[in-house]
Structure 1
């Protein structure tokens, strides 16, 4: 009996050392899954366990089909934290009640990471459902967490993607890094509804890679037929109840796959996008159309020509096309009809109206580039036309706006009467321009005879002797006008080595003039949207504005068709050169950045309140902030600025100009601009300086639809300092940083009256004891009429008619 007792004791001790195996489809407290075991759903459809991909040296916890041959993985838990292959991995319920993965002596590498009163280790259970959904539940029906809300690279029936229209946050699927590596890859797929309707996208990194367009080849219908979409606060996309899966593979193809179609005993590809290179997003750049039947060759739509001819010949089309002739923004503009086109991205819906009413709405808006009207639904496009393609089966016509002379040149006008009217208008305009030119030269000649030679040296004279007194009066600062030969000598005939950059109005060169030393010379492009009006406007404004935070205009050249401005030279170029370059941003320490912020605020305050002229800039952005040797900021580019009367608070325009992402909603939607529209731009600029991130880089990302949305979210969560650029986060003045973020959020509030003035902003930034009011929600989402704002906050691109910048 003694021997029997000993054997019994040994058996009991041996059993106590074995792992506790869970029931078939659940894991409870004290139970675990290791490399040699798995959970199987109640119906046997899915399995959960650890797996190692082919040719990989890492272990992952995943879910796969249990009854389909091979291991088709549909979900991975620890894709961002792979486990070395020779390690011991355990999946279990943690002490806090969460689903967790441990390896090597209780090292936590993944958790469901939920909190709540119901979450305790004794009350939660992990269960694998027969739908393939891993859930953490309290009791039988209370789901605290589920894998279906956290998809990886695959969608299966019951999973969902979402887009929250209030927060801008979206759930997407993200490709594997490679077929053997489940880590997050370069591509993601999801939905967006910022422009009033649900759309599907594939993104590569932060940029659009492929757009499912509902007007061409049934692409959107091809993918949408597998989903149901609900539209409330969230836009949810859920697979229809079919035995299929949607996979985004590592090279960016989205595939809808069905098992065992027609007895094939394999996964059959029912739908794939993209199918050809021409379908990739904006292959031919602005106003360029990709030809699907011509192997992806690009062409400019009628009335346009390649921006860079040499690049175009060599097959580099991404810069796209520019207008052959600038729009007049008057009755001479016409529309060219293009059949069977994939419609451009970023359409704005104007609701139901006739085609004639739709055309009228477009022609009235100087920024409107095209329109279409199908089944009485009117859509227009503002600025650049992106992602055009030929050879679509769509029956919708796209009407592209061009100068009236293009219709005559191409023989596309509807009748001889219309051609005759346009021709008469051209002749009258040309005659008027000639008479005006003769009058100007006569006036100049007369003044020279009366006053005698008024020359500073052999090649220059005060510009006031040339410019209209209505623009530059006798009390204005005297600018020096240089000859074109002077300018050519100063820039070595505009040599490429002297080129500092190129903006929407033309290139800027470094030059040397004996009287001034190093200078920056802006040569306005002949096809630039900045015509004589903007040129004279900039002359007048800068000649009258004197402030250390505004760039100084030193001279000009007006000769033939050439219009040139000469500025003080800024050796450190523009702020964006430093702010968005990872190797240079380290030079922008906290003290320097805050000094730049204060300098810009002081410059804007001067423009709005203390200068001789009350000025609304209308194009305040990071690339228009120049830096001198001491990194003192100077506001530049006044071509779009407007002068207000001392008692004027607001003005309206049909010609909306500015830069995507910086413009206030009231300006985009209604053309209304004021000091408060400049304040909105300052708020966006302030956030970019503090975070080191471009506002445009946030569009179509999982973080938020805009920098404004991200900042708002962090403020609501009480985690504002996480917004500060990591390179200065540890060394910044936390009080000033917090105040600066709050000021930025006050500036970008949706309603103009809620925004502070520049006077208030300067005081709030400088006085650390002054209380700052609580900000209201910024203009980062759709709200009734303000939906159009989203069409202008996608890319950092200045635009204005007649030529987008």
Structure 2
């Protein structure tokens, strides 16, 4: 009797064990109906029929997270053919997994479409979220798997890319909306053309491009190990290319990468405290990530305003585009390439490499061999390493225009751009011009003539200036980056033999200060000629931020220069235009303030009319004049972080939106009798000075 009981007990236990061992599996003699589900072995994922929130009438066969209250869906089979009721069933045959309506109608809705027959077919849901179809006796030999057919979500263990042998192309296609799994307008895939790279598309238009993988890092400077919990690796062979995201620690937080219906590839991490997903990272994180925002041969720098600029030796293809901040037409070369005629390369450090769809690559070549390969091909315009680890290896060549470049960090990738011989730095040095310049010891602005007859203006720093070489070069580099059709272009500099010179293009019609500060000439500058209209821009001036009266506090005291220092100088110019008087040397009988302090005092008193030049009073619009004064005060605020950037300043000048209240300006106190030193036209000396020319970036 006891033996019989033991046998029955063992039989029951065996049945229970068999049931639980098969809880994640569907066999050929099973049918899963709507309302029934299959759960992975450790309960991580669940599959069955579901309806999206807001769309209860449609039923889909899918996979979702089991342990999470919101049951986030990660895969959908019949996304284009929903079932309009609860009659759906799931079956397994020797040919694959089949979703159909109930057995009476037996209309096939979806199948895994495998052409080869399997003897003992089973479908199993793994704890990775992967639904596999295999032979019951071959646990690791998957005949078909859902990981090869992703929808909108990238899970750990999944491959993202292509296999030329099997024909697999694993990419992400967004849902149409939050409650409609049908294919949307956005697709994210690893492009097969040229060197593989990830591109996000909206229909046929590229939106965002992730730079190609380059060894241990890609040129977007993304480290491929996350907190020691996850790792991402890139596999590239002659027949396949794909990314794999893997979990290093079992207890790692749950993560997924999803292409949202609005077209944003976003990585989420599950927050166990508030039981919801936390957004961790998106593919597009700044305006510079927008594909080709600066056009062909343009470079985007998120830390600059405007953000786009041409590479060295290039100018906007349409000159007016730079002033309009429209870079869609890109940049063109100043000097066209002449194949084999002494051409070389300019190195760009820390950049996002250009679009590689029109590139050629070789995994074994050295950087020197890569350079030679590019020089031998007249159509090659740039080259770079492929693998940046261990000193660099491999060769990547570009042909034609370079598009979608971005300034990143110094340890990002290097790009070598082909340039004409005359544009190379070493050749520029060999053709240094010797200028015959009349030096007037007490003058700030000098005039010179190049050997080719071109006139230049030279700003000479006073010998007793306390400005050091570092501060001077800081000023030079920052001014060189400022390009505008109404700004004087900096052509070169000199720090030889104790001289510190800035060389500009010469203005034959004088600069703004010649007119505005002269009692007679200022009569010709009424308000319409001084205003900043919608299609107008500030007038030219040879004054620079290093000139007394225009220097920002942080530059004067600490030698710290930034775009906000330029804004300060611009603000001083605005106030001078309105007042018709210089900031430095300004004298008023009622106080000991300079022009900035005088304007600030009258602003707080509500008496701005007393500031305005009488020449423009009759021709001006009082509201416009007061607005320009307020903008000028915003630009000269004491702390750089309080000042607007230049693009915001121009926007304020051309619009009529409400303005912020300015804070106390910097440098609004000045001692009496410290006007600009007078200049004597006597005692000229003739010196010959070597000046190195360069092109602003």
* TM-score normalised by the chain length of structure 2: 0.50
* TM-score normalised by the chain length of structure 1: 0.43
Higher helix share: 1
Larger radius of gyration: 2
